[in-house]
């Protein structure tokens, strides 16, 4: 059975093709040895409403509660969170930490998949865990600041209402009972009493707010294998490129000297 023209071509230039394939394979092995391997670990964070001024959103396929997970994913990759994580990891370059962070939002969930890439499995796991805890710490800190600001505003409103109520109450004895001024003052006194009661109830409610930023439901674990291309892929790519180059050179040689192809075959 006769061979195909391509196989015949490779057979006539088998030494040339073999050298190219060998060089390609060696190149793949060298690349695998030289290029650093990358490991990626992932921690899963369940994001919950903080209990402080959570605004409702239009519920879409990614949002089944009052949370904007796409926004939370951006926050998890922010410089603030990266800075907190870098401090915990002992890394000075915040941009380096940010480059290694990847956030994914599984559909129909309130979960952030926090991934971190590093040169070793343990560093990847430590990085993912540090970013996850830094994100929750930042979320809790923001909620606590917002809560404190609300408490200050309500306290200031209570002071103003109390002051106005004291002034109105003090003015009543100086007004003639039944007069328009007296009736207006009593109505204002009633309104201020209600306002103070409402504000006091709001202040009490704010004091009982428990901030709940979320929790790490799946801690990061060191990965068993690198995420980048392994030796088989490098080796296979090198073999393929070597065969491709060898075939190209063989075709070129025969096109240049068709009558002397056998004489010059390697």
State the Cα–Cα distance between residues 245 and 24, nearest whole angstrom.
9
* DSSP character string of 116-176: EEESSHHHHHHHHHHHHHHHHHHHHHHHHHHHHHHHHHHHHHHHHHHHHHHHHHHHGGGS-
State the Cα–Cα distance between residues 222 and 126, nearest whole angstrom.
8
Is 80 found in the same domain as 17?
no
Residue 263 lies in a domain: no
Question: Coil, strand or helix: which one is 47?
Answer: strand
pLDDT in tens, 33-88: 555 678 999 999 999 999 886 433 333 444 334 688 999 999 999 999 999 999 99
Residue 266 lies in a domain: no
> What local confidence, expressed as pLDDT, does residue 241 receive?
77
State the Cα–Cα distance between residues 85 and 126, nearest whole angstrom.
10
CA distances from 247 to 7, 8, 20, 27, 119 (A): 10, 11, 9, 18, 37
Is 250 found in the same domain as 181?
no
Q: Which residues pair with 115 in a beta bridge?
A: 42, 102
Is 196 found in the same domain as 93?
yes
State the Cα–Cα distance between residues 50 and 61, nearest whole angstrom.
21
**Exposed (0-12), middle (13-18) or buried (19+): which is 124, by Cβ within 10 Å?**
buried
Domains identified in the chain, total number: 2
Report which of 48, 42, 40 is spatially closest to residue 104, judged by C-alpha positions.
Answer: 42
Domain hosting 23: range is: 5-34+228-257
Residue 74 lies in a domain: yes
Cβ contact 45:217 at 8 Å = yes
Q: Is pLDDT larger for residue 122 or for residue 235?
A: 122
pTM attached to this predicted model:
0.69
Q: At 194, is the pLDDT very low, low, confident or very high (cuts 50, 70, 90)?
A: very high
State the Cα–Cα distance between residues 108 and 116, nearest whole angstrom.
23
């Amino acid at each position: 059975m006769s061979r195909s023209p391509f196989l015949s071509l490779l057979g006539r230039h088998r030494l040339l093709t073999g050298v190219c394939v060998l060089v390609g394979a060696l190149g793949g092995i060298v690349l695998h040895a030289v290029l650093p391997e990358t490991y990626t670990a992932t921690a899963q964070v369940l994001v919950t409403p903080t209990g402080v001024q959570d605004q409702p959103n239009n519920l879409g396929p990614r949002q089944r509660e009052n949370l904007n997970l796409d926004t939370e994913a951006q926050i998890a990759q922010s410089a603030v969170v990266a800075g907190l994580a870098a401090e915990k990891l002992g890394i000075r370059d915040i941009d380096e930490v940010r480059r290694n962070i990847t956030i994914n939002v599984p559909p129909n969930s309130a979960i952030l998949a926090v991934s971190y890439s590093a040169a070793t499995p343990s560093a990847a796991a430590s990085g993912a865990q540090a970013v996850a805890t830094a994100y929750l710490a930042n979320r809790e800190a923001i909620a606590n600041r917002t809560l404190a600001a609300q408490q200050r505003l309500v306290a200031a409103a209570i002071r103003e209402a109390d002051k106005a109520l004291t002034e109105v109450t003090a003015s009543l004895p100086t007004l003639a009972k039944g007069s328009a001024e007296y009736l207006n003052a009593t109505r204002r006194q009633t309104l201020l009493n209600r306002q103070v009661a409402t504000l006091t109830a709001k202040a009490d409610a704010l004091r009982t707010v428990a901030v709940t930023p979320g929790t790490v439901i799946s801690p990061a674990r060191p990965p068993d294998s690198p995420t980048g291309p392994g030796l088989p892929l490098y080796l296979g790519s090198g073999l393929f490129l070597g065969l491709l180059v060898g075939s190209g050179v063989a075709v070129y040689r025969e096109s240049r000297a068709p009558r002397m192809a056998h004489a010059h075959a390697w």
